[in-house]
Amino acid sequence: MNPMSRSADSRADTWILTAQCPSRLGTVDVVTRFLKEQRCYITEQQSFDDRHAERFCIRTEFRPLDADFDAEAFQASFASRAEAFEMTFELTAPGTRLPVVIMVSKADHCLNDLLYRYRTGQLPIEIRAVVSNHPDLQPLADWHGLPYYHFPITPETKAEQEAQVWRVVEETGAELVILARYMQVLSSEMCERLAGRAINIHHSLLPGFKGAKPYHQAFEKGVKLVGATAHYINDDLDEGPIITQGVEPVGHADDPEDLVAKGRDIECLTLARAVGYHVARRVFLHGRRTVVFSR
C-alpha cells in the first residue's frame, strides 16, 4: 500500500512527527519515550541511520490517547528534549492538505492524473493554481474550478516570466510546486528558491535519449524497458535528488505510439507516488540523496 491509497478517514486522528539529527546513541529512544510520556500511541514508525552522512532520520505516526491533546505544548516540551541531540523536527496535524501549484506546458496526462487524485481525495493536497507557458490546458483547469495562469516565455522574457510564476507561488502560499511535464528549464535562481519543494517528472530510458521524440528514438534502438523518474529540482537538468522511479516492460511488438502510451502511464504513476510521499512527510533530503520511507 502507498500513501495515496489510504483514505482520509484512516488518518482522521493520526499525527505525524518527523525528525533528523546527527547520528548518536538514543535517537530512537528520545522520540518513543517522549510519546509514551505524552500518552501517544505509535501506529507506525520508520527510522534510518545514514552512515555515510552520519545523519539519522525518523518518521512516526501516532494517535493521542487523551482528548485534550495540545499540539503547541507538545512541540515546546519535545523541543527541550530534541535540543540535546541537535534534532530538528516537524509535527503535522491530521487532515493536513498541502497547498500546491502545478506547472504544465501542453501535455495533459500528468495534470489530468493529479487532478483526478485530488478530486477523489487520494492525494491530501490543495491545488491553489495551475501555471503554464501555453494556453492549451486552461479548459481542464476551468472544469475543476482552478485558477489558470498563462505566462508565455521566450529567451528574452525568461526572467520576467519566472517573476510572474514566483508571484503566484508566494500569493497562493504554495508549499510545493509540481512540474507536471513543464517543458522549460528553470533558472538557477528559481531552482534555489524552490529547493526541496519542487518535484519534476521526466522519462527514464536506457540508453539515454535526449531531444525530440525520445520514445521514437527508443523504438529505433529496440529498448525493452521504458521508465520515469520523479525528483526534486536543482541546478543540474533532470539530475536532482530522486524520490521515486518506475519502469514498464516493452517488447518487439510495441510500436512508437505504444511506447509513448506506456511512458505516459508510468510518468503519471511515478509523479503521483512522489507527491504522495512528499506530502505524507516520507522524504528526507540529504544533499543530493533522499531517504524515502515508502509503505
What digits encode the pLDDT tens for the residues 105-125? 999 999 999 999 999 999 999
- Start-to-end CA distance of the chain, whole Å, equals 6
User: Environment class of residue 294 by beta-carbon count within 10 Å: exposed (0-12), middle (13-18) or buried (19+)?
Assistant: middle
Task: Answer whether the bond into residue 241 is a cis peptide, omega within 30°.
Answer: no
- As a whole number of angstroms, the distance between CA 237 and CA 53 comes to 24
Question: Which among 176, 179, 197, 203 has a CA at the least distance from the CA of 131?
Answer: 179
pLDDT at position 2 is 47
- Active site (catalytic) residues: 238
Can you give the pLDDT at residue 235? Answer: 83
Give me the pLDDT at residue 222, please: 81
pLDDT at 208: 67
Q: Phi and psi (nearest 5°) for 100?
A: -135, 155
Give me the domains of the chain, ranges plus CATH numbers.
Answer: 3-92 (3.30.70.260), 98-292 (3.40.50.170)
Could you give the C-alpha distances from 44 to 14, 15, 25, 41, 60, in angstroms and in order?
A: 10, 10, 21, 9, 6
C-alpha cell at 274: 512522489
Give the separation between CA 183 and CA 112, rounded to whole angstroms: 16
3-class secondary structure, 287: coil
- Listed as ranges, residues in the chain with pLDDT below 70 are 1-12, 205-211, 237-238
DSSP character at residue 50: E
- pLDDT of 5 reads 44
Q: Which residue is listed with cell 491545488?
A: 127
Element (H, E) at 75: helix 71-83
Task: Give the span between the Cα atoms of 104 and 130, in whole angstroms.
Answer: 7
Separation in Å, CA 180 to CA 101, 144, 258, 282: 10, 16, 21, 20
Helix/strand/coil percent split, the chain, to 5:
35, 30, 35
Strands 98-104 and 125-132: parallel
Q: How far is CA 78 from the centre of its chain?
A: 27
Let me know: does 180 contact 110? Beta carbons within 8 Å. yes
pLDDT at 225: 83
Q: Report the length, in residues, of the chain.
A: 295
